[in-house]
Structure 1
Amino acid sequence: MKEIIDKQRIAVIGAGGHAKVVASTLMAVGHKVIGFYDDDPQKWGESIFGVPIIGPISDLNRANCDGAIIGLGDNHVRKQVATTMDLNWITVIHPFAWVHPEVPLGAGTIVCAGAIVQPSAIIGAHVILNTKASVDHDCIVGDYVHIAVAHLAGGASVDEGVFLALGSTVLPGLNVGAWAHLGAGAVATKNIPAGCIAVGSPARTIKSAVEAA
């Protein structure tokens, strides 16, 4: 079930554009954002929404905060951070999003403003359901997925690390394989193999798993 910590001290990993969205979502539900951690030294000492950018990611540990969430949009980097740091990863849902109460959300997942998750869906860990993303009934979303303003139709599934770019759609019952990338405006009318980059409507593969590696 969803691990949503109420009004505690939360750290954000990253200090770029997506980190701003993460922080504003945390604040919208009443959490206190205590700081940002980013590996760019030029950002250290600056602030976002009056909250300091404290230092490198390696400085963050359980003693610094009650919980943390990764504000990095790159799926590979998000997995690397999540699997190498021992932190209390929290889940956050924007108050202007809607998630069916029985849908499980994995640790570290964020559901942004305007996103919708329908009944019997399953959402993995460290997933980004970005602004106005929609996941319909019986869909399965793997760990480290990023769904932009994109739509998963009923019964569709996306495996670990998939990126669905702006305006893309996966038709009912279809699968997008692990670490594949569906380009902006693309429509998956058949299964997309793992590791591929696919674009267009209907989506066609422009790079194979070997070429995309």
Structure 2
Amino acid sequence: MMQPLFGVYGASGCGRGVMPLARMQLQKLGISADSLVFIDDNPEAVNVNGHPILSYRSFLERKATERYAVLAIANSKVREQLASRCANDGVRPWTIAASNVVTMDDVNLGAGAILSPFVTLTSNIHIGQHFHANLYSYVEHDCVIGDYVTFAPGVKCNGNVVIEDHAYIGAGAVIRQGRPGRPLVIGCGAVIGMGAVVTRDVPPGVTVAGNPAKPLVRG
């Protein structure tokens, strides 16, 4: 009897961290781990941590009632390309959330998110597609987060913040709370360095670091 097929796209570090969460999520639904694989375009092995690695083509060719994939790829531009590829081939986005994720009121979470252990999403939050929130990250009230945004571990995103598409927030970064009607804005494709304390808007495409965070000047 054919079953749905579920894939974690990416068999490297990020994917290996997501796979146990994916497995536990399926177990709670009564779906066999045999339906769960890694997808990798250039596999260097045939099996990782007890799960087979399939090329994308092999994933499409394996018989299944439906196909789902979560994109465990840190690079947001690659993530967007893969999302388009999957959509064109009828592969559905899959959201993975650890069992201890806390989600409060009126949280609108886009398709394909990865929410690692100890992530908290409080209230009145809108998050776009294919969001990655790593260990111990949080999003406070009245935030709007775009598509393909990545939070490294321990990001503290306080209330009334807007983070535009493809922004990357480094490990341990702190984003100061904005004000109602005047949110703090992190622009499209901006990069916030590890441990940075962001106290003002960050323009699109700019990399900032330090406390308070300032644009990096390349010599």
Q: TM-score range by the shorter chain?
A: 0.7 to 0.9
Q: SS of the residue aligned with 1:143?
A: coil
Contact 1:198 1:207 in 2 (8 A): no
What are the superposed Cα offsets for residues 120-179 of structure 1, whole Å, 9 maximum, x if unpaired? 011111010111110000111111000112111011111000100011011112111001
Query: Closer, same or farther in 2 for the Cα pair 1:41/1:51, shift >3 Å?
Result: closer
Query: Closer, same or farther in 2 for the Cα pair 1:11/1:101, shift >3 Å?
Result: farther
Structure 2 counterparts to residues 20-59 of structure 1, below 5 A: 20-31=16-27, 32=33, 34-43=36-45, 45=46, 47-55=47-55, 57-59=56-58
Matching of residue 70 in structure 1 with residue 74 in structure 2: no
Q: Name the structure 1 match of 2:199.
A: 189
Contact 1:153 1:171 in 2 (8 A): yes
CA distance in 1, matches of 2:59, 2:204: 33
Q: Name the structure 1 match of 2:161.
A: 156
Match of 2:98 among 94, 98, 103: 94
RMSD: 2.0
Q: Pick the structure with greater CA Rg.
A: 2
Give the count of matched residue pairs. Answer: 199
Deviation beyond 6 Å, 4+ runs, structure 1: none
Matching of residue 180 in structure 1 with residue 193 in structure 2: no
State the percentage of identical aligned residues. 27
Q: What's the TM-score, normalizing by structure 1?
A: 0.86
Q: Name the structure 2 match of 1:211.
A: none
Q: SS of the residue aligned with 2:44?
A: helix
Query: Closer, same or farther in 2 for the Cα pair 1:154/1:52, shift >3 Å?
Result: same
Gap regions ≥5 residues in structure 1: 1-6, 209-213
Q: SS of the residue aligned with 1:30?
A: helix
Match of 2:15 among 4, 19, 22: 19
Query: Closer, same or farther in 2 for the Cα pair 1:61/1:8, shift >3 Å?
Result: closer
Match of 2:126 among 97, 122, 125: 122
CA distance in 2, matches of 1:202, 1:58: 47
Contact 2:43 2:53 in 1 (8 A): no
Q: What's the TM-score, normalizing by structure 2?
A: 0.84
Corresponding letter in the other structure for 2:83: A
CA distance in 2, matches of 1:206, 1:18: 27
